[in-house]
Structures are given as C-alpha cells and as structure tokens.
Structure 1
Amino acid sequence: MNGLVAVGLDGSAESLAAAHWAAREALLRGVPLQLVHAEEWSSPRDITPVTSAEMRSRWAEALLRDAADEVRGRHPELAVSTRSLDERPAKALAAVATTADLLVLGSRGLGALTGFVLGSVGMAVIHSTERPVVLVRAGEDAIAHSRSGHSDRELVVGVDTGQPCDALLSFAFEEASRRSCTLRALHSWALPPLVGYGAAYDPRIHAQLDMSAKSGLDEMLEPWRAKYPAVHVTARATAGHAAWQLVEAGSEAGLIVVGRRIRRSPVGAHIGPITHAVVHHARAPVAVVAHP
C-alpha cells in the first residue's frame, strides 16, 4: 500500500465534489491525494465531444490541472499528484484502488425522491476491488465539508450481527477515531411472520426480540469499544428495513459505512440489496467496505 487517497475525475460536478471530499480525507489520514482521469469516463454534457486522441489528451490534462490547482488552493499543505490513464474507466480505477488506502468516486444526484445514480463505472469498480470505495454526491454538503471540515459530523455504520464483519467495524472505528466524532452503530431486524399482525401481535415478544438484538449488537461492538476507548459509540437495534433506517439516520452524517460481502464465484460480485439501496439514496457520502 502506497499510503494515498485516490479520486476519479471526469469533469462532472460530482467528481469535483468527490475530489474536495477526498482532499479533506487525505489530510485527516496524513497521506497524499492522487487525482485520476480514465479515458472517456462520462464526459460532461456541456463539453463538445472530443474526436481525436490528441484532443482527449489535452482535455484530460486541463481537467486534472484545473482540479489540482483548485484543491491546492484550498489545501496548500496537501501533496497532490495527477494521473491520466488511457484505459477502460472501470478497469483502470479498480487497478488504482489496489494501490490506494481509499478510492473516492462521484455519484450523480436525481433528487430526493428518485435517489442517486451510482453509474455503471462506479458499480463495476465496487464489484472489482476489495479496497474501500467512498461515493460522494455533488451539492452543498460535499463542498461545505471540504471547506469547514467533516470531522464534526457523526459516522453511521450498518451492522449485521448474524455475520462476522471485522473489516467493516475496523474501518468505521478507525474513521471515527480519526475524525474524533461519534460513531452510531445500527442493526435492523425483521419481525418473525405474523408477530406484527392483528391478534398474533404480542408486545412482550417484540420487546424480547428487541432486547436480544440489542444484546447481540453490544456483544459485537464490545471488543472494538475496548480497542478504541476514545470513540464515543451509540448503538441501536430496531425492527424495520435496514436500508431506509441507514439512509434516515445518515441524513446529517459525515459518512455512512456499509459492507459488501466478498464473493468469488462464476456469477461475479454482489453488493447486496441493503448496500445497493443506501448508495443510491443516501445524501451523505457512503463508504462501501468489502469483507468476508
């Protein structure tokens, strides 16, 4: 690992917001920032389509130079480098991710109701790398965080107590420690069939299930609390849809952390329905952490 934060740039507002977020993250980590452009990756709509390799090269150079100048202007103490790759975007960025501590990408906003589009490149990169990937939407939040710092907002992590998730919790606690912020751990559980319907509903059973779920969450968090005693942790286990609870809880968060199971099979990678929903609908930046 070279010790750097990498960000993919394509000239869009989303990728520029990602660059500003990544710059602040690089400063928190004390590592350099690398701005990366991959050939023909989602060219902005207001740019005349390039028709030659020379024009594409010049456009990429200008894109990287302007973004680097803007980031250095706001963070003169940050070491910033640029890299232009003449490869398929998804493949190139996945390769970059293997050499970085963190890869940051932009996520296009469609509005509060319809959510946000990750895009085929971003989805392919998440599927292709086991390194953490952070998705940042364009808008006031990303720019505001880059100007005033995003370490004052809490971090939210979704936890499945039925599966080991050490890599996920390691990332979440390390980030919370780095930011000196509160870490909110959420676990959502589903009521057994018929428990919540009509005469079959028994509040005592609901309370017992709730207590059991909270106990399981506390047990999973216990060794991490001991390892990071300075991190203030709040834990909540409630019945409901995990994705929507994470989106709601993370509406004002500095970062939402979700997991992706590493699956090596002929059918390929799978990020899971909860993570899929969170990365498309969350307003806050979302970190996707691959783990066994």
Structure 2
Amino acid sequence: MLPVERPVTVGVDGSSVSMRALDWAADEAVVHGLPLRIVHASVWERFEGATPAEDLPEGSAEAALLQEIIGDAAARARRRRPEARIHAEVLPGEPVDVLVQAAQDAFALVVGHRGHGALARRFFTDSIGPGVAGRAPCPIVVVGDSVLERPSAGRQVVLGVGEGTGADAAPVTFALQEAQARGCDLVVVHARSRQETRQDRPGLGSAQAAEALLGAAVPDRTALERGVVVHRRVVDGPTRDALLRAADHADLLVLGVRHRHGMGHRELGPTHHAALRHSPCPVALVGGDWSSP
C-alpha cells in the first residue's frame, strides 16, 4: 500500500499578502513533488450572528464572493506552476480553527502575514500568534510582507540553533530536508550574547563550545547522507540580528518552537516575532514534536 501524500496547505483570503504565500506554497509543493491544497476559511458576520460558509444561500452574493476568492487563487497557482496537483476549497469556520484542522495531515502549512499589527487582518495576525503557530502539528511557514521577490536558484536555507538543539531535533531535520529538495546549502547559525563573548573562556558560552554545539546539531555524516553542504557560523551579538543578516541571502529561515511548560501549545519568543516582522525571506516555525513524513 502506497503512503498517503501530505499536501502543502496554504490559507488564502484574497489579499496580496496571502497571494504571495500562495506563490511560495505552489513552489514548495512542486519542489517536494506534493499536492497543493488551497484553503479559504470563512465565517460571515451578519446582524443576527455568524453564518458559516456552508449555510450561505446558494447563489447569494456572499457565496459568489467565496467562490471567486478560491477560484482566483487556484487559477493563480496553475499559472505559476502548471505541473502542480491542486485542490482548492472553502471551509466553514473561524480561520484559526480551520487552519489548525487543515494542518493535521499537511506536510507544511503556509500563511501570509502583515508585519505591522495596525495593518494586519485578523486571519494572518492570529495565524502566527497563539493560534495556528502554537497549535498546528506540522511546520508553519510564514510569508511576510517584508519578504523580497528574488530568484531562489543557488541560494540557501538558514537554520537558527540554540543550546537545546540536538542532532535529531525536528527543526534540523526540516532544514536539511528543505536544503536537499532545493539543491542548496544549509547555513547553521548560533549567536552568542554579549555576556558570553566577554567571558570567552573554555566551557559553556566559549567559541569552542559554540562550534561544538553547531557540529553536534548537524553532524557531517547526517548532512553527507542527504547530499547537503553545511556551513556553520558562530556570531557574536543578538540572536535576532544574526538571523536577519543571514536571512538576507536565504530562501528560507528555519526556527524551532518549544512547548510551554505543562501545556500542549508552543510559545513564540521575541526572536520569533522579530523574524516574522522583518525577515526578507519566509520563516518556518517547527515544533519539537514534528516528525518527517
């Protein structure tokens, strides 16, 4: 029996930022040889309360708009990637709930994000907050409005590594997988704080310890098995600055997300939020409980 293919799933709402997320998702699906699933979540607010999309009268203006949004998205994806296997659908419910459910069988979930809260629509703001990014079981790829349009050929995947990253960690596996599929290099970055650099001596926080940490996170043998060239960089200074500089030359920035203590949800820290607001490339958030299909 053949294994069930997990699709690359993308949430759209007709906005320009969601269309950029759709473009990236279409490319991702083709790179990995996977289906592309396009989802539009909708709850229409009426005077008497919320009306799920499935309950809208057939032929109504609202129902027509929903079909226009999902139809335009599917047509755009086909123009960009004619070889893609595309399934597009409108699902009733609140966007965060719908996307979390859609992520259950997804290879990755792709969403758009406006970096400035005052301009953000609820769909995209919630999707990367305690909503989708905290609850979805698969990697979440966020395509922000700061992402630059540029050719991807010959670029690289960047992985941020901290003290708790191990060789079998989910973010490491995902980053290697992405670099392998793209045929590009993997750049592994660890940033040392100002205090660590002032106390540069043998032991935790030293340059030698940082280099050992990077070597343990992505062993040469593991990279060789996947045919991926790995570059390891120890950078002095704030983590967010180091990652954003590395992202200038990247197709994708991969960051791990840890669970909150005693809770099933994942927690985004200041570095995650800074990357989502300012990264010039898409950002993948990968929970430690994810396993490669």
TM range (shorter): 0.7 to 0.9
* 2:10 match: 7
Alignment partner of 2:158 out of 146, 156, 159 = 156
1:21 and 2:24 correspond: yes
TM-score (norm 1): 0.82
Alignment partner of 1:224 out of 201, 222, 225 = 222
* 2:260 match: 263
SS in structure 2 at match of 1:260? strand
Residues 131, 289 of structure 1: 8 Å contact kept? yes
Aligned equivalents of 2:120, 2:248: Cα separation in 1 = 14
TM-score (norm 2): 0.81
Aligned equivalents of 1:180, 1:2: Cα separation in 2 = 22
Aligned equivalents of 2:143, 2:112: Cα separation in 1 = 5
* 2:138 match: 131
Aligned equivalents of 1:289, 1:136: Cα separation in 2 = 15
Q: Which amino acid aligns with 2:143?
A: V
1:139/1:281 Cα in 2 relative to 1: closer, same or farther (>3 Å)?
A: closer
Give the root-mean-square deviation of aligned CA atoms. Answer: 3.0
Aligned equivalents of 1:252, 1:220: Cα separation in 2 = 21
Alignment partner of 1:98 out of 104, 111, 118 = 104
Q: Which amino acid aligns with 2:243?
A: L
Superposed displacement of residue 270, structure 1? 1.1
Q: Which amino acid aligns with 2:162?
A: D
1:12/1:257 Cα in 2 relative to 1: closer, same or farther (>3 Å)?
A: same
Residues 4, 101 of structure 1: 8 Å contact kept? yes
* 2:192 match: 189
Residues 115, 282 of structure 1: 8 Å contact kept? no
Residues 158, 186 of structure 1: 8 Å contact kept? yes
1:34/1:211 Cα in 2 relative to 1: closer, same or farther (>3 Å)?
A: same
Residues 9, 15 of structure 1: 8 Å contact kept? yes
Residues 130, 262 of structure 1: 8 Å contact kept? no
Q: Deviations over 1:106-159 (max 9, x none)?
A: 011449xx99996123321101112101011247734x45xxxx2432110001
Instruction: Give ranges in structure 1 of 5+ residues lacking alignment.
Output: 42-49, 197-201
Aligned ranges for residues 109-120 of structure 1 at < 5 Å? 109-110=115-116, 119-120=125-126
Residues 169, 224 of structure 1: 8 Å contact kept? no
Q: Which amino acid aligns with 1:212?
A: A
Q: Which amino acid aligns with 2:140?
A: V
Superposed displacement of residue 204, structure 1? 6.5
Residues 161, 217 of structure 2: 8 Å contact kept? no
Instruction: Give ranges in structure 2 of 5+ residues lacking alignment.
Output: 45-52
Q: Deviations over 1:151-180 (max 9, x none)?
A: 432110001133436111000001001101
Residues 154, 253 of structure 1: 8 Å contact kept? yes
Q: Which amino acid aligns with 1:155?
A: V
* 1:169 match: 172
1:64 and 2:61 correspond: no
1:241/1:263 Cα in 2 relative to 1: closer, same or farther (>3 Å)?
A: same
* 1:46 match: none
Aligned equivalents of 2:147, 2:244: Cα separation in 1 = 18
1:36 and 2:39 correspond: yes
Residues 255, 285 of structure 2: 8 Å contact kept? yes
* 1:84 match: 90
* 2:182 match: 179
Q: Which amino acid aligns with 2:222?
A: W
Aligned equivalents of 2:195, 2:94: Cα separation in 1 = 46
1:272/1:203 Cα in 2 relative to 1: closer, same or farther (>3 Å)?
A: closer
